[in-house]
Structure 1
Amino acid sequence: MKTVAIIQARMTSTRLPGKVLREVLGRPLLGYQVERLRRCRTLDEILLATTGNATDDPVAEFAGREGLRFWRGPEEDVLARFAGAAEMAGADIVVRLTADCPLVDPELVDQVVSTLTESDPPFDYVSNAGTGTLPAGLDAEVLRADALFAAHSEAIVRQEREHVTPFIYNHPERFACRMLRHEPPIEGQRWTVDQPEDFELVRRILEALYPQNPAFTYRDVLALLEAHPDWTEINRTVSAKPKPVKSNDGAYPEQA
């Protein structure tokens, strides 16, 4: 089976425009994310899914410099973008990632992928997001391409098309889903980049860790923040993204 990571990326973020290509130590945030994902043992390819808008030409140009294939599709219909990218890549397994997560950890991505690919009976969808047990920014969603294509074919609700995976985990009667909790929980931290305060924290983390050890892990970040507890206050008041939509029976996908 071919496992493909698809990163959704665009330049027109309302909160922090151009954030995905903002530079730290002369390298764009998206470059750090791609570099870290290349250390995953479970991925066969990394793709970018951006829009057809001229404003996102820099994202396509970045992909070219990095030797990555990319797919351009509708700005609002992110589900269509993912389906197009997955079909182009011939993916069997899709890993959904967002470009505002430069500290994504290969170990955690591999854990989510392996949980799906080694499941028996098989899962259709596995995620470590939405449990509140990992810092925002370490999220990964993994789904079978057949489930993605079914969602693309059938989803009509706007939120299901903007956020790619709700159609799947909102239909547990059709798709077997699993949510992974991290133990021990790491609560109350944001390592994603949505607003200027988030960028300031991530900038400090990269400047402190990357020059000495480009392959630093989430454990290294935790140790750094324990040594600098005031840093976690930088983006403490930034609002978190909404939780995933509940399934039809009122419950989130199975947690473990």
Structure 2
Amino acid sequence: MSAATAKPRVVCISQARMTSTRLPGKVLMEAAGRPLLAHHLERLARCRTLDALVLATTVNGTDDPVAELARSLGVPVFRGDEQDVLGRFAGAAAMAGADVVVRVTADCPLIDPALVDRVVAAFLESAPPLDYLSLDVTRFPRGLDSEVFTRAALDEASASATDPAEREHVTAHIYRRPERFRIGAPLAPEDGSVLDQRWCVDEAADLELVRRLLGALLPENPGFGWQDCCNLLRQHPEWADLNGSVRQNTLH
């Protein structure tokens, strides 16, 4: 970052691949007439704190359609190793000239741009400065997840991490080392609530719930936010039961 530009360049990097273990090809499955990946990227494009949005996918031929869809939406693509997601993120951040990186995953078609902006703003405004900040995934519905960290921390993790889990989960090398990196307290809902729901797509039951939410919300309010999803689920409590038995894969 040059002295002339006080504001760091904030780049959001989303990861996507077709070879998901539980629901292969999920990011291109459709809801409300559009692939999940298109919903995800178009929602992120409404964020106000981002200078750029990049899709990080693999070099595998199976991910050519993922790259093509992103490019058709005007989103630059970085392609790297399928297993080394950390290296893929470091490469995407370098390609985009990032100073600050926002990490999201493409299986979150309901991601809320205002919530992403809240995490980025809190990160940028923190005094003293932070190396890493995330949304509190134990209190928000899963599927809104976002993490913000410095490019320097990402590059250090990419150069140092040897544990395969840390190469796969990108930020684990950072948040597991509070003695090395400045880790912020995760951001909780402003009303202090805890919402134990899943809006990410890992299995067919998740897809069914997301299809119902998008189908109901988009025609009325294309710019809907996460609270609109909450309100709709209060009206249809049986919808939340659709994927109530699905387990979350997590490293935290």
Which residues of structure 1 form unaligned runs of 5+?
A: 245-256
Alignment partner of 1:36: what SS? Answer: helix
Question: Could you tell me whether the CA contact under 8 Å between 1:129 and 1:140 is conserved in 2?
Answer: no
Asked if 1:60 is matched to 2:67, the reply is yes
Residue in 2 that maps onto 1:218: 226
Pairwise mapping of residues 99-110 of structure 1 onto structure 2 (< 5 A)? 99-110=106-117
Residue in 2 that maps onto 1:47: 54
User: Alignment partner for residue 250 of structure 2, among 242, 246, 249?
Assistant: 242
Asked if 1:115 is matched to 2:122, the reply is yes
Looking at structure 2, the residues matched to 107 and 64 of structure 1 have their Cα atoms a distance apart, in angstroms, of 24
Asked if 1:72 is matched to 2:111, the reply is no
Residue in 1 that maps onto 2:208: 200
Looking at structure 2, the residues matched to 31 and 161 of structure 1 have their Cα atoms a distance apart, in angstroms, of 26
User: Alignment partner for residue 95 of structure 1, among 102, 112, 128?
Assistant: 102
Work out the percentage of aligned pairs sharing the same amino acid.
Answer: 55
Residue in 2 that maps onto 1:134: 140
* Counterpart amino acid of residue 27 in structure 1: R
Residue in 2 that maps onto 1:188: 196
Which residues of structure 2 form unaligned runs of 5+?
A: 1-7
Question: Could you tell me whether the CA contact under 8 Å between 2:38 and 2:70 is conserved in 1?
Answer: no
User: Alignment partner for residue 165 of structure 2, among 140, 159, 170?
Assistant: 159
Alignment partner of 1:86: what SS? Answer: helix
Question: Could you tell me whether the CA contact under 8 Å between 1:129 and 1:141 is conserved in 2?
Answer: no
Asked if 1:233 is matched to 2:241, the reply is yes
- The structural deviation recorded for 1:79 is 0.2
TM-score relative to the length of structure 1: 0.93
* Counterpart amino acid of residue 187 in structure 1: L
Looking at structure 2, the residues matched to 98 and 129 of structure 1 have their Cα atoms a distance apart, in angstroms, of 15
- The structural deviation recorded for 1:129 is 4.0
* Counterpart amino acid of residue 182 in structure 2: A
Q: Deviations over 1:178-230 (max 9, x none)?
A: 12222332322100000000000000000000011110011111110000000
**Most deviating of 18-27 and 84-93:** 18-27
Looking at structure 2, the residues matched to 64 and 107 of structure 1 have their Cα atoms a distance apart, in angstroms, of 24
Asked if 1:38 is matched to 2:45, the reply is yes
* Counterpart amino acid of residue 142 in structure 1: V
Alignment size in residue pairs: 243
Alignment partner of 1:203: what SS? Answer: helix
Alignment partner of 1:235: what SS? Answer: coil
Alignment partner of 1:47: what SS? Answer: strand
* Counterpart amino acid of residue 192 in structure 1: C
- The structural deviation recorded for 1:152 is 0.3
User: Alignment partner for residue 143 of structure 1, among 149, 153, 158?
Assistant: 149
- The structural deviation recorded for 1:243 is 4.5
Looking at structure 2, the residues matched to 98 and 185 of structure 1 have their Cα atoms a distance apart, in angstroms, of 24
- The structural deviation recorded for 1:38 is 1.2
Looking at structure 1, the residues matched to 200 and 175 of structure 2 have their Cα atoms a distance apart, in angstroms, of 23
Looking at structure 2, the residues matched to 185 and 195 of structure 1 have their Cα atoms a distance apart, in angstroms, of 26
Looking at structure 1, the residues matched to 111 and 34 of structure 2 have their Cα atoms a distance apart, in angstroms, of 16
- The structural deviation recorded for 1:122 is 0.2
Looking at structure 2, the residues matched to 177 and 50 of structure 1 have their Cα atoms a distance apart, in angstroms, of 27
Question: Could you tell me whether the CA contact under 8 Å between 2:29 and 2:36 is conserved in 1?
Answer: yes
Alignment partner of 1:177: what SS? Answer: coil
Looking at structure 1, the residues matched to 162 and 251 of structure 2 have their Cα atoms a distance apart, in angstroms, of 20
Residue in 2 that maps onto 1:10: 17
* Counterpart amino acid of residue 194 in structure 2: I
